Structure 1
Amino acid sequence: MKSIKLFFYFVFSIPMCFWAQNKATINIENNSALDRKEAVVAISWKNILERYPEIDTSNFVVINTKTKKQVIFQLEHRMSSAIQNLLIQVDIKAKSKLTFSIQKGKPEIFTVKTYARYVPERKDDFAWENDKIAFRTYGKAIEGSNEDAYGFDVWVKRTNKMIINERYKLADYHTDHGDGLDYYQVGHTLGAGNMAPYVKDSIRYSANYHRWKMLDNGPLRSTFQLIYDSWNAGGIKIGVIKTISLDAGSQLSRIENNYTFDETQTLPIVAGISKRANPGKILLNEQQGIMAYWEPASDKNGTTATGVILTTPVSNMWADKIQLLAKTTVQNNEPVIYYSGAAWDKAGKFTDAKKWFDYLENFYHEINNPLVVSVK
């Protein structure tokens, strides 16, 4: 009897951390009919801590239980001191399941696949990129000059390396040095998928962004905010904060715009894509909210493709002389989420309009059929 008492005393006197689980298991299911390649998946850090409370954030690895190999990961903060999500990148077949183990170990050094930064040395540009494509937008310092533009710019690339810093350092980004260049023309349009209010049948462009905040910066997802000064948009005072994320492997940025205004209950807005004088190929799919453009080929620089996918109902899509436009509405202080991006035929993945349009349609289905994630 005494030995039994000693046993129970021993068991219950052991600290609870001794019994804590020293790993967690992640299950990811693809219930759609589409294969997912290079998908960045977010796993709630709170759910991981519930299963693995003693995890050391500087000494853990994510292992594919089938291949036994490490998987690239990122701790996403969303500008918070606390971790919000664990991001991993996966390839997963249609109607299939993957399992990963989070356990103690030394993580490998993985290649950075996304990057973003404010560029004060070039008139307040803000630039962002991944292993497929690059973009930039314009800041206060360039306003009033002949270089100013309203929309998003595209920097085409045919390398998986990060090129923003090198191109700015060379200050010769209009020349292709073997990895791509900036030859996209934005002008007085929304460029490659920017958004603006549409009041009294006119686009009400804001000035350029005035402030910025970096939320996360790679290796799998870079997220930042652009804050704009309020402006008079056809008699309505409007302000906006744009939160932009770009995932590794994606041609499209995720953009969340939060408009504030007082004079009306709803605000008409449009997303736009620059249109060229020569004929190109256009897709206007109002039902699915997909607007796409395969530009006419440049003599020496190939073809840039651009696209937008709206997640809110589209009331109209049309093409005018200088741009394609997709119209929707937004509530005051409620975010509107959409996707915009580009591709370059010289990168080799999209060599005709059909391949680009198919990519956007598949992307639409991926948005509406997200991967299912569980932690055990």
Structure 2
Amino acid sequence: MRTLLLALLALAAPGALAQSAVTVTVANPLDLARPDAVAEVPWATLAAALPGLGPDAVRVVDPATEAEVVSQPLDLDADGTPEHLLILTGLWPNETRAFRVEAVAPDSAYAPRVHAMHDDYRDDMAWESDRIAWRTYGKGLWEADEFQPLVSSGIDVWPKRTRDLITERWYEKGHDAYHVDSGEGADFYSVGTTLGAGGTGVWADGDLVRPENFDDWRILADGPIRAVFEMDYQPFDAGGQRVAERKRITIDAGRHLYRQESTYTADGPVPAVVGLVDRPEGVVASTRDGADWTWLALWGPVERKNGGHGELGTAVMVPSAALGRIAREGRHYLATVDATPGVPVVSYVGAGWTASGDVDAVGDWWALLDAEAARLGAPIVVTVGE
């Protein structure tokens, strides 16, 4: 009897409870709301407290309501052990919230709010949040009989006016059909051989030099909260220096901006650029210098082809400390950043369309970018087990 009693007491001890659940606290240090905030919780810290934790055995619960909270184990190196657990929440200004992480499977699958895909026929990469969609071009496009060969590493915007994920469906409709708005939005944006919205290149000998279409790709994560993929660009000549680029793109639920990291291989420093193509429809350009992040943005009418309508904003955002200059060069507005080979150059790229219901005028677009810059400068504070 005494042995049984001791065993029951051991099960009731605080240490035993710590093996079944752990508290994660997330705090918003800003006097600014954070809808669709993504908290990154170190997996190793959680695993140390929850021995039964696994990619298929993790659940997040709001203890105030006992409702499940959308989460995503993030295993970018595909070694079976995630680097982070992502928790999707909303935070009011200066709010702190607590969640309970359990080492059990979720009750059900979570509806994805992001997606990354490769279209095999065109050799495109496409990615989207529930707010906006994007695509860029691979070398296989040169071999597709239906299209003129396009040599371009530019970024295309697919403005949409639905919260649904549309990239798979639009590719199924076909090239001509997704250029016409049938109620969800359409590809009204022209890229051609330009940088488009947020393409990267090198400033060499007073000229913009860009890689050709991507040569290889891999999807590292695909929702429900975050999608991540990489593309490789083969070496190109930039002022007598051979430069290769690996680009990693990350997009989160609820966001108009995606994160891109360009890592260059070269013999010396690389004068990297990220930029926006000017549009012929009467575009307004603006910049805002921030303590942590500086943005460059355009705003103007959507190209009036195939029923194009509304106004479209595009933007790039770079760390203020790394920014060299912002300038209009030829057809582009460019932000320059001196890159060290092997060290990622980080920037954010965004777009917003009036028909989506998120922005109604140019002031809304500037305000959205100011808010995103503020959030990037003051990350969510995550505490485990306190």
TM-score calculated relative to the size of structure 1 = 0.91
Q: Verify the 8 A CA contact 1:79 1:214 in the aligned structure 2.
A: no
Structure 1 pair 58–328 and aligned structure 2 pair: CA distance change class (3 A):
closer
Structure 1 pair 258–10 and aligned structure 2 pair: CA distance change class (3 A):
same
Q: SS where residue 372 of structure 2 aligns?
A: helix
Percent of counterpart pairs with the same letter?
Answer: 28
Distance 2:18 2:67 in 1: 25
Structure 1 pair 95–304 and aligned structure 2 pair: CA distance change class (3 A):
same
Structure 1 pair 297–13 and aligned structure 2 pair: CA distance change class (3 A):
closer
Q: Please, which of 343, 346, 362 is the counterpart of residue 371 of structure 2?
A: 362
Q: Verify the 8 A CA contact 1:290 1:360 in the aligned structure 2.
A: yes
Distance 2:203 2:43 in 1: 39
Q: Verify the 8 A CA contact 1:189 1:272 in the aligned structure 2.
A: no
Please identify, of 154-163 and 270-279, the stretch whose mean Cα deviation from structure 2 is larger: 270-279
Q: Verify the 8 A CA contact 1:29 1:373 in the aligned structure 2.
A: yes
Q: Verify the 8 A CA contact 2:281 2:303 in the aligned structure 1.
A: no
Q: SS where residue 356 of structure 1 aligns?
A: helix
Q: Name 1:79's counterpart in structure 2.
A: 77
Q: Name 1:186's counterpart in structure 2.
A: 191
Q: Name 2:95's counterpart in structure 1.
A: 96
Shift of 1:138: 0.4
1:235 aligns with 2:240: yes
Q: Verify the 8 A CA contact 1:152 1:193 in the aligned structure 2.
A: yes
Paired positions, count: 369
After superposition, residues 1-376 of structure 1 pair within 5 angstroms as 21-55=19-53, 57-81=55-79, 82-103=81-102, 104=104, 106-122=106-122, 124-143=123-142, 145-171=148-174, 172-262=177-267, 264=268, 266-286=269-289, 288-299=293-304, 300-311=308-319, 312-376=321-385
Aligned-partner residue type, residue 43 of structure 1: V
Distance 1:149 1:234 in 2: 19
Shift of 1:234: 1.7
- Structure 1: which 4+ aligned runs deviate by more than 4 Å? 6-14, 16-20
Please identify, of 343-352 and 61-70, the stretch whose mean Cα deviation from structure 2 is larger: 61-70
Q: Verify the 8 A CA contact 2:235 2:245 in the aligned structure 1.
A: yes
Residues 81-105 of structure 1 show CA distances to partners (whole Å, capped at 9, x for unaligned) of 2111111111101111000011246
Q: Verify the 8 A CA contact 1:27 1:374 in the aligned structure 2.
A: yes
Distance 2:379 2:64 in 1: 22
Q: Verify the 8 A CA contact 2:55 2:82 in the aligned structure 1.
A: no
Shift of 1:66: 2.3
Q: Verify the 8 A CA contact 1:195 1:269 in the aligned structure 2.
A: yes
Please identify, of 46-55 and 284-293, the stretch whose mean Cα deviation from structure 2 is larger: 284-293
Q: Verify the 8 A CA contact 2:114 2:253 in the aligned structure 1.
A: yes
Distance 1:37 1:19 in 2: 32
Q: Verify the 8 A CA contact 2:189 2:303 in the aligned structure 1.
A: no
Structure 1 pair 23–156 and aligned structure 2 pair: CA distance change class (3 A):
same
Structure 1 pair 220–13 and aligned structure 2 pair: CA distance change class (3 A):
closer
